[in-house]
């Protein structure tokens, strides 16, 4: 039996795995097999055939930033020709309610608020 299979068996028996075992699954487990084990655990804990998703939203009311992260292709320096900052009204419209058939619960766990020293559009 491989070490990965031993960890799968442990999970399927309902026992907790160690951080080292989790790392082994992350780096060595077959993705489809890992998914099957995850689904078995999921149905054991939540047998109802209902799946929910979190809709993650980043309401970008401005692309103006002075942080200069090396990986970022989004930001524009203050005064750049394609810099924008939305008004509160436009920003609110962008984050309007759910689409038909959707149910959403709004919550905010973290927010980075940039100041508004630039012209709004
Ligand atoms: S917008 Fe965010 S990721 Fe981009 S440079 Fe500014 S802080 Fe960095």
Instruction: List per-residue pLDDT tens for the chain, 121 residues long.
Output: 899 999 999 999 999 999 999 999 999 999 999 999 999 999 999 999 888 777 777 778 889 999 989 999 999 999 999 999 988 888 777 766 666 666 666 565 555 555 555 555 5
Assess whether 56 and 39 both reside in one domain: no
- For the chain, the domain total comes to 2
63 near 78, Cβ under 8 Å? no
Alpha-carbon distance of 14 to 11, in angstroms, equals 5
58 near 46, Cβ under 8 Å? no
Assess whether 97 and 70 both reside in one domain: yes
Compute the distance from residue 73 Cα to the ligand 1 centre, in Å: 8
Task: Residue 83: give the domain boundaries.
Answer: 52-121
Report the predicted TM-score, pTM, of the whole model to 2 decimal places. Answer: 0.48
Q: Which of the 8 DSSP states describes residue 108?
A: -
Assess whether 78 and 30 both reside in one domain: no
Assess whether 88 and 41 both reside in one domain: no
Query: What are the distances in angstroms from CA 74 to CA 66, 69, 71?
Result: 12, 10, 9
Write down the residue that tokens 């509160």 correspond to.
Answer: 88
Ligand 1 pocket (Cβ < 6 Å) reads 65, 67-69, 72, 74-75
């Amino acid at each position: 039996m491989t070490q990965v299979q031993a960890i799968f068996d442990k999970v399927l028996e309902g026992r907790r795995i160690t951080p080292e075992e989790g790392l082994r699954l992350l780096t060595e487990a077959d993705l489809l097999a890992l998914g099957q084990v995850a689904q078995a655990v999921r149905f054991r804990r939540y047998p109802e055939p209902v799946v929910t998703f979190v809709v993650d939203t980043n309401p970008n009311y401005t692309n103006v930033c002075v942080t200069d992260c090396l990986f970022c292709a989004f930001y524009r320096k203050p005064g750049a020709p394609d810099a924008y900052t939305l008004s509160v009204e436009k920003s609110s419209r962008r984050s309007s309610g759910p689409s038909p058939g959707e149910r959403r619960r709004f919550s905010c766990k973290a927010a980075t608020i940039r100041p508004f020293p630039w012209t709004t559009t």
